[in-house]
Amino acid sequence: MLRSKYLIRRFFYTLSNYGISATLKKIYKTCFYSNKIDLDKLNIPNNLGLDDLFLKFGTDKGSLDGKKTYDFLEKNKDGEKKFKSYYEWINRNNPRNFEYQFGLNFTPYYEKYLGPLRDKSLKILEIGVANGHSVASWFYYFPNSEIHAVDIKKKHKFLYKGKRINYHSLDCLDNVAVRKFITKNNNFDIIIDDSFHEQPAITNNIKNFYPTLNPGGIYVLEDFNTADHILKIERKYNEDSGKKLMHRWSILTSEIFDYIKNKKMFKHEIFKEDDLKYIFDTIDRVEVHDLELEHPWASLGFLFKKKN
Ligand SMILES: C[S@@+](CC[C@H](N)C(=O)[O-])C[C@H]1O[C@@H](n2cnc3c(N)ncnc32)[C@H](O)[C@@H]1O
């Protein structure tokens, strides 16, 4: 149902923007060829660094945000977009030749912690991949790894394909579906959570996915300080009037990282005592980077699992 609605919308969009002949060509291509961008066949220079890859494919993880620039790129004087498709955009000659808004600037942190693992043969999972721009970047950054991409969105929203890429349409808050996914796809070396940046998704994902990390694996949580920001304001507002917050998600994610770092038990709706014991027994170290000074909602938390 969703897919047909999407196709009908695409049909009228293409017809009104590009005319009947381009529309028929597109229908032909969609029916007889996969319309996904094949990463095994793209001609990406192999000297691109991680930040260049982030910019080229347009995730906001890099210092600049390529995707939004593509979305809002001006039309030329004939009313046509400068780039007719994402495929053309990715192949733009000079990726830095546009006016970009700032990205989250995670590159130095990813290079520091994940860079040494670049050439290994790993199993990587990203939860929350949208149209796949970060997955495409990881595909080139980790040339020997298998990448699993999870999103609540249906597969047709994911723009890419590749021999080392597996897309899974999954709601990470649906614990039954997550169990099934994990039984089938265990275990990972790197897990990146860029999905729903709020409680309870943040903790639910750590509870479900951290145990699926191999020894020596790394769990990364992005952008948790947006939710922390709001909670801090709410806390202060109440405290200033001598009140205490009573709702279920009143622990900051940064506090949860501190509890884990110090192996200190805490009461939580999602983490039960056994979950926390497992984390405390297997955690090697925790690194938290609040990057608010660089970007209003940039933050990164890394959980490093013991090697054995
Ligand atoms: C910030 S975007 C991901 C961006 C992508 N990682 C990138 O760098 O280009 C967040 C994604 O999380 C997905 N998401 C939100 N809630 C989810 C859920 N409950 N389960 C799985 N994915 C979810 C959204 O559909 C969205 O595509």
pLDDT class for 116, splitting at 50, 70, 90? very high
Q: Which atom of ligand 1 is nearest to the CA of 174?
A: 19
Start-to-end CA distance of the chain, whole Å, equals 47
What residue's CA is closest to ligand 1, atom 11? 128
What residue's CA is closest to ligand 1, atom 27? 130
Ligand 1 centroid vs 193 CA: distance in angstroms?
Answer: 9
pLDDT tens for each residue of 175-230: 999 999 999 998 999 999 999 999 899 999 999 999 999 999 999 999 999 899 99
Average pLDDT over residues 287-302: 91
Cα separations (Å) of 62 from 105, 162, 192, 200, 307? 5, 22, 15, 26, 29
Ligand 1 centroid vs 132 CA: distance in angstroms?
Answer: 10
pLDDT tens for each residue of 256-281: 999 999 999 999 999 999 999 999 99
Mutate to test the pocket of ligand 1, among 57, 151, 158 (most ligand atoms within 8 A of CB): 151
pLDDT class for 34, splitting at 50, 70, 90? low
pLDDT tens for each residue of 35-78: 899 999 998 988 899 999 999 999 999 999 988 888 888 777 77
Q: Which of 33-37, 45-49, 236-240, 288-292 has the lowest mean pLDDT?
A: 33-37
Q: Which atom of ligand 1 is nearest to the CA of 60?
A: 8
Q: What are phi and psi of 26, to 5 degrees?
A: -65, -40
Ligand 1 centroid vs 24 CA: distance in angstroms?
Answer: 32
Mutate to test the pocket of ligand 1, among 57, 141, 196 (most ligand atoms within 8 A of CB): 196
- Ligand 1 neighbours, Cβ below 6 Å, are 59, 61, 128-130, 133-134, 150-153, 171-173, 194-196, 201
pLDDT class for 283, splitting at 50, 70, 90? very high
Ligand 1 centroid vs 171 CA: distance in angstroms?
Answer: 10
Rg (CA), the chain: 21
Ligand 1 centroid vs 243 CA: distance in angstroms?
Answer: 35
Instruction: Tell me which residue has tokens 């984390």.
Output: 279
pLDDT class for 101, splitting at 50, 70, 90? very high
Quote the tokens at residue 264. Answer: 């200190």
Cα separations (Å) of 103 from 60, 72, 107, 142, 212? 5, 15, 10, 21, 30
- pLDDT at 107 (0 to 100): 97
Ligand 1 centroid vs 264 CA: distance in angstroms?
Answer: 30
Cα separations (Å) of 146 from 162, 171, 286? 10, 21, 25
Ligand 1 centroid vs 117 CA: distance in angstroms?
Answer: 25
Cα separations (Å) of 284 from 125, 201, 272, 288? 20, 23, 20, 14
- pLDDT at 1 (0 to 100): 62
Tell me: pLDDT of 114 over 70.
Answer: yes
What residue's CA is closest to ligand 1, atom 16? 196
What residue's CA is closest to ligand 1, atom 6? 129
pTM to 2 decimals?
Answer: 0.90
Q: Which atom of ligand 1 is nearest to the CA of 172?
A: 20
- pLDDT at 256 (0 to 100): 97
Ligand 1 centroid vs 131 CA: distance in angstroms?
Answer: 9
Average pLDDT over residues 112-122: 98
Report the alpha-carbon distance of residue 86 to residue 20 in Å, rounded. Answer: 20
- pLDDT at 29 (0 to 100): 65
Query: In whole numbers, what is the pLDDT of the chain averaged over residues?
Result: 92
Average pLDDT over residues 90-112: 93
Average pLDDT over residues 133-148: 98
Mutate to test the pocket of ligand 1, among 55, 65, 70, 129 (most ligand atoms within 8 A of CB): 129
pLDDT class for 31, splitting at 50, 70, 90? low
Ligand 1 centroid vs 197 CA: distance in angstroms?
Answer: 9
